[in-house]
Chains A and B, each alone.
Chain A
Amino acid sequence: KAGVTQTPRYLIKTRGQQVTLSCSPISGHRSVSWYQQTPGQGLQFLFEYFSETQRNKGNFPGRFSGRQFSNSRSEMNVSTLELGDSALYLCASNRGGGGTEAFFGQGTRLTVV
């Protein structure tokens, strides 16, 4: 069974640009969550999608958005990039019920210069 796949693994962008990250969940998983990981901040929750609907949302500005497709694949978009957006972005998938284990991808390392 394939794991959670995130693409690309590494990305370098310039301030002001926008970026789209992709996440393919484990087959059968309907929930996809996104997290931003930076040194000292741990994993900060961005949002969760379940059956193409945003179900939970963290405390990030509107520049951060996402969507989920009918095959459960998800994308997140960051517009007007800032230097502070440099981080490891992690995607996790699970079946969607409370208490279910989240399976993580290896992340996309975004560097904004």
Chain B
Amino acid sequence: AQSVTQLDSQVPVFEEAPVELRCNYSSSVSVYLFWYVQYPNQGLQLLLKYLSGSTLVKGINGFEAEFNKSQTSFHLRKPSVHISDTAEYFCAVSDGNNDMRFGAGTRLTVKP
């Protein structure tokens, strides 16, 4: 089965600074890639997804991610973060059979 590695468990950053959350995946088949966000005491919410086509994907709340097949990466970026972006972020990979696997998560903390 496919798997996901999120390279940073915690990322502290100051408000209005740029941020990158790193994600690498492994799979023997073509994959679909996702980023989800989880706010405290809530379920997960989709930020963005890559299915095919353009490798730069734009999502909600100003986030974007770039699919890099040669490096098997799907890093999430935002040029300027807000306090409200403080949350846990999960990268996920799914195959054509709807088998979706998640990484361990990255806790983004935005400081004033």
Contacts and interface: CB of A to CB of B under 8 A. Distances in A.
Interface of A: 4, 31, 33, 35, 40-45, 48, 50, 55-56, 90, 92, 94, 96-102, 104-107
A34 to B, nearest CB: 11
Given A43-B90, A90-B43, A107-B43, A102 B104 contact: no
A104 B97 CA distance: 18
Question: Which 10 A-B pairs have CB atoms at the shortest separation, nearest pair first?
Answer: A42-B104, A98-B96, A104-B43, A99-B32, A43-B102, A56-B99, A104-B44, A42-B105, A106-B43, A99-B51
20 contacts: A42-B6, A42-B105, A43-B44, A43-B102, A43-B105, A44-B102, A48-B99, A55-B97, A55-B99, A56-B97, A56-B99, A90-B44, A97-B98, A98-B97, A99-B51, A100-B98, A101-B46, A102-B100, A104-B44, A105-B43
